[in-house]
Amino acid sequence: MPKTDISPYLLLANIGHLLTLRGGAVPRRGRDLQEIGLIENAAVLCGGGKILAAGPQRELLRDPWLRTNRRKVKELDCRGCVVTPGLIDCHTHPVFAEPRLVDFEKRIGGAGYEEIAAAGGGIRSSVAAVRRSSRGELSKKVLAALNAMLEQGTSVVEAKSGYGLTMEDEIKSLEAIRDASRQWPGEVVSTLLAAHVVPQEYAGKADDYVKKVCDEMVPLAARKKLAQYVDVFCDRGAFTQEQSEKILAAARKHGLGTRVHVCQFTAAKLAPLLEHRPASLDHMDCVQPEDISLLARGETVAVLLPGANYFLGHREFPDARRLIEAGVPVALATDYNPGTSPTPSMPFVLSLACTHMKMTPAEAIAAATINAACALRLQERKGSLEAGKDADLAVFDVKDYREIAYWFAWDRCVEMVVAGRVVGKNA
Ligand SMILES: [Zn+2]
């Protein structure tokens, strides 16, 4: 959706359900996660890329400034549709070259991790393909994914490297993210995930690779301003708790934020990781009961990724209810990646959250907007529709907000507004 509209003032009129997500404590916890700030028969006035006013249409149209300047304002007739803040996909891996079809078919046949790797699949096949690809080829793939996300309602994306695993290929991956983000109307937050797995050439020498990540890759990514965060995969088959802590310490030393893939396959002790003040801990399928109360007292957001459970054919999903009821702030994301979650669709993730994790549609939407903004520490600008915040809005062709999570594998997003401009389909 490359076309943009140049009108500086935009009025979204005739909104059936407007979900403002305003008010209340941020991030949303417990019962507050239900608070979506619903206004019926609403309108939103945008100007200079920001929200100027959002509220009942009758009140908004009485605004003296709007009455005298109505001709300067472009109008978008929402025809009774549902409008939400632009969805925020706070966990993706878009820098890859090819789908992982060997894994897909082998897994259908019942193969495990080792057998898939032996057949030429697995994460190492993605690494080989990224190493062979040019920065330009990768940035085209990233941009295509960002556009697919935008078409389905997403206006902010966190994007990780992690299939390069050499200095050169990780930097190339981060540059591909930056190049793509410059051609995309939404906002991209980039993350160095050099500690995704131990690359083959460091087999048996994981500590040497960790040292390279800490002493060379993290400082260079920081110096080149290519990453805002550093992520590490702390789990069986990836990095140990001790190695993960070293990488998080290096990130903080170089002024970068931290986030961790943890508790996807095996449990980990979260207290030492939380010392590094991660913005989010992601997956959290195997979080231990004693760590839940610890999380409930902090600001770190638990990012749940049910797309991976779905695609791997798992019967178990993260225990969202237990986390929410304990007061842990939760967010949702696609985990878009070639191995375990090849979907750009946040609405599909909302559907999975409702059907498989027993979140309500309201909770799922709050987790994909205001709480996802918190997971990226963007809550001052993103995630709710309030005067002064960025004018990022998604228009869904449904009459009731619950339908966004109800229809699945059906793209109901008909319009996107990013920074106060209509982008895409009807621009
Ligand atoms: Zn991931």
How far is ligand 1, taken at its centre, from the CA of residue 289, in Å? 23
C-alpha 157/C-alpha 333 separation (Å) is 9
Indicate the pLDDT class of residue 121, thresholds 50, 70 and 90.
confident
What integer is the mean pLDDT of 377-390? Answer: 97
How far is ligand 1, taken at its centre, from the CA of residue 76, in Å? 36
The length of the chain in residues reads 427
How far is ligand 1, taken at its centre, from the CA of residue 121, in Å? 18
C-alpha 70/C-alpha 125 separation (Å) is 57
Q: Give the residues across from 195 on adjacent strands.
A: 232
Tell whether the model's pLDDT for residue 1 goes beyond 80: no
How far is ligand 1, taken at its centre, from the CA of residue 50, in Å? 31
Least reliable range by pLDDT among 21-25, 299-303, 347-351 = 21-25
Q: Give the residues across from 330 on adjacent strands.
A: 302
How far is ligand 1, taken at its centre, from the CA of residue 262, in Å? 10
What are the tens digits of pLDDT across the range 360-378? 999 999 999 999 999 999 9
How far is ligand 1, taken at its centre, from the CA of residue 385, in Å? 28
How far is ligand 1, taken at its centre, from the CA of residue 233, in Å? 8
How far is ligand 1, taken at its centre, from the CA of residue 278, in Å? 15
How far is ligand 1, taken at its centre, from the CA of residue 69, in Å? 47
What's this model's pTM, rounded to 2 decimal places?
0.96
C-alpha 234/C-alpha 4 separation (Å) is 41
C-alpha 143/C-alpha 177 separation (Å) is 8
pLDDT of residue 7: 57
How far is ligand 1, taken at its centre, from the CA of residue 26, in Å? 24
For the record, the structure tokens of 99 come out as: 């789908």
Indicate the pLDDT class of residue 2, thresholds 50, 70 and 90.
very low
Closest CA to 231 of 172, 283, 290, 287: 283
Tell whether the model's pLDDT for residue 146 goes beyond 50: yes
For the record, the structure tokens of 362 come out as: 């309201």
pLDDT of residue 426: 52
How far is ligand 1, taken at its centre, from the CA of residue 205, in Å? 23
pLDDT of residue 199: 95
pLDDT of residue 118: 81
How far is ligand 1, taken at its centre, from the CA of residue 144, in Å? 19
pLDDT of residue 4: 53
What integer is the mean pLDDT of 87-108? Answer: 96
Tell whether the model's pLDDT for residue 311 goes beyond 90: yes
C-alpha 273/C-alpha 244 separation (Å) is 8
Indicate the pLDDT class of residue 24, thresholds 50, 70 and 90.
confident
How far is ligand 1, taken at its centre, from the CA of residue 93, in Å? 6
What integer is the mean pLDDT of 102-121? Answer: 88
What are the tens digits of pLDDT across the range 184-201? 999 999 999 999 999 999
Tell whether the model's pLDDT for residue 53 goes beyond 50: yes
C-alpha 240/C-alpha 125 separation (Å) is 23
Burial of 7 (0-12, 13-18, 19+ CB in 10 A): middle
Indicate the pLDDT class of residue 88, thresholds 50, 70 and 90.
very high
